[in-house]
Structure 1
Amino acid sequence: MSVHTQASAAGAGGLRAWLTTETPQSRTQAKLGRLYLGWLTFTRNTLAVVGLGIVLLLVAMAVLAPWLAPYDPLAQDLGQRLLPPSGAHWLGTDAFGRDILSRILYGSRLTLMIVLLVAVTAPVAGLLIGTVAGYLGGWVDTVLMRVTDIFLAFPKLILALAFVSALGPGIENAIIAIAITSWPPYARIARAETITIRRSDFISAVRLQGASKARIILGHVVPLCSSSLIVRVTLDMAGIILTAAGLGFLGLGAQPPAPEWGAMIATGRQYVLEQWWVATMPGIAIFVVSLGFNLLGDGLRDVLDPKG
């Protein structure tokens, strides 16, 4: 073994020992050590790593779509309509002669945008509502939870259809409708955990030090409830993608000629028996991405919520 190889091995071993020590010398070392141990736990789950790979592939597709797409996703060529998969068009063409692979690549941008915008709105709203209701209790808890129950009484897709019908078709209104209908489960989870946390000794100690209710909720309760919500958000991403695709399929989401996967399936359903690739290819994309988020969520649950 060369001197360079020995030094590299020693350096890697020293870093691993520094991260896994039971007596960290600083808060930064303790945080990095927890992250490293969490990563080791995550990587033991092969399917979770596969899910992470699929999600990273979705991100790469969205970022690199202009360079990966072989054709303009909006360019029509009726002389090339409904061509089967071939060397020129790997996934075939649709009824307007547009390259399906290019449209799927650009459609990943819409899918990722929906996922990100819903993930930063609905869980945050649910977390705040749930923690406030759980910590304050009384009439505040009663009012907030009854509103939550009203939203939970309706199927998510039906409620989203009602909101987007009132707001009007379009990708922005579809995102708003999905976010409005997605927060109640997060509020329920946050409230249940807050009721347990508020009885903890350290919360009593913080209260005795004169901390306000807002400071306790935002500074102590919310961070402790976040890990389980991250797991739930990741697992819910598949449902969010399917809801967005359902709205697009019904013509209430992204409007033509936008390359949204649900809308692509809708335009290809009339050719499903003979030109099967028109609807099948975007359907496979939805299936693979949904599966990836589910597998990733299972892995994160093992790391962030071992009791789950």
Structure 2
Amino acid sequence: MTALHAWLSDPNPSSRRQAKLGQIWLAWLRIRRNRLAMVGLVIVGLLLVVAAFAPWIAPHDPYVQDLSRRLLPPGTPGNLLGTDDFGRDILSRIIYGARITLYTIGLVAVTAPVLGLLVGTVAGYFGGWIDAVLMRVTDIFLAFPRLILALALVAVLGPGIENAVLAIALTAWPPYARLARAETLTVRSSDYIAAIRLQGASSARIIAGHVVPMCLPSVIIRVTLDMAGVILIAAGLGFLGLGVQPPLPEWGLMISSGRKFLFEQWWVATMPGLAILIVSLGFNLLGDGLRDVLDPKSAPK
């Protein structure tokens, strides 16, 4: 183990593979020293595990109704977090709801940043009227509150998880475009970009092979920090009945169905609300840790 540590920490790597693995190892050492980031990593890791093994972890079927056991309080034998107004186990529904949450943030994470990177790097690299047009379109999207714009888009597209993801993605890309444009403006006049251009490389090759990789660390940090907002918007759409539809166990929809019991049977709405709180907190803590690790302007600790 000591030899492996020395090999990974070697300041003079003998191969590109060793250099890459050494960078990953040093990044892990830095994030491991950040206790809050490790807490966030554990929470996100648990979300992944729960979503992957939901059929084996959940004690009950999340869709089966038993009206004889409706609105049982937390701590009831067989129902650790109680039951809802249809007698369904709340813990099981929260566990299966982790799949829907992960599905939503996963689709948004692979669509909105890609679109934002494309718009931002093209605008920053070419400048001129291309930059002006793309940034004005970005400003139009930024002028509307994200939740209001998502509500309008879902109202046009219709309720459903796919339309909700599409609406969230269409409202989430402008900040990535702004970020990518700012990063591109700082590197497009660099000497190495000029050298690549003199070698005859096309603009598309320069953007894809050299500009985008320089923007990725900042975008990854932003994606992680934005996941909490994505979760809240998805839950808000579900709460209003415009996102995931019953009987799917989506956390926002569970809060909506339990709000009428909030004063007497508080656990029906509180338990999924706590799930949203914990997962959002985990992504925020992890994002702060990744910012310390991936930001090239931050000094090693």
Normalised by the size of structure 2, how large is the TM-score? 0.98
Q: Which residue of 2 aligns with 1:78?
A: 67
Per the alignment, in what secondary structure is the counterpart of residue 223 of structure 1?
Answer: helix
Q: Which residue of 1 aligns with 2:127?
A: 137
Q: 2:97 aligns with which of 86, 107, 118?
A: 107
Structure 1 residue 154, shift from structure 2 partner: 0.3
Tell me if 1:242 matches 2:232.
yes
Q: Which residue of 1 aligns with 2:110?
A: 120
Q: Which residue of 2 aligns with 1:295?
A: 285
User: Per-residue CA shift, 1:191-226, capped at 9, x if unaligned?
Assistant: 001001001100000000000000000000001100
Q: 2:15 aligns with which of 14, 21, 26?
A: 26
Q: Which residue of 2 aligns with 1:208?
A: 198
Tell me if 1:265 matches 2:230.
no
Tell me if 1:195 matches 2:189.
no
Structure 1 residue 87, shift from structure 2 partner: 2.3
Structure 1 residue 306, shift from structure 2 partner: 5.2
CA distance in 1, matches of 2:196, 2:131: 22
CA distance in 1, matches of 2:194, 2:297: 25
Residue type at the aligned position of 2:181: R
CA distance in 2, matches of 1:242, 1:49: 22
Residue type at the aligned position of 1:94: D
CA distance in 1, matches of 2:179, 2:187: 12
Q: 1:64 aligns with which of 47, 53, 65?
A: 53
CA distance in 1, matches of 2:12, 2:172: 42
Q: Percent identity?
A: 71
Structure 1 residue 307, shift from structure 2 partner: 3.3
CA distance in 2, matches of 1:263, 1:178: 17
Q: 1:40 aligns with which of 29, 33, 36?
A: 29
Structure 1 residue 30, shift from structure 2 partner: 0.3
Structure 2 spans left out of the alignment, 5+ residues: none
Q: Which residue of 1 aligns with 2:2?
A: 13
Structure 1 residue 75, shift from structure 2 partner: 0.6
Structure 1 residue 13, shift from structure 2 partner: 1.1
CA distance in 2, matches of 1:178, 1:87: 39
CA distance in 2, matches of 1:172, 1:271: 29
Q: Which residue of 2 aligns with 1:52?
A: 41
Residue type at the aligned position of 1:292: G
Structure 1 spans left out of the alignment, 5+ residues: 1-11
Q: Which residue of 2 aligns with 1:307?
A: 297
CA distance in 1, matches of 2:184, 2:117: 10
CA distance in 1, matches of 2:99, 2:294: 28
CA distance in 2, matches of 1:17, 1:247: 51
User: Per-residue CA shift, 1:136-167, capped at 9, x if unaligned?
Assistant: 00111000000000000000000000000000
CA distance in 1, matches of 2:248, 2:4: 48
Structure 1 residue 22, shift from structure 2 partner: 1.1
Per the alignment, in what secondary structure is the counterpart of residue 263 of structure 2?
Answer: coil
Runs of 4+ in structure 1 over 6 Å off: none
CA distance in 2, matches of 1:211, 1:68: 53
Tell me if 1:162 matches 2:146.
no
CA distance in 2, matches of 1:118, 1:133: 22
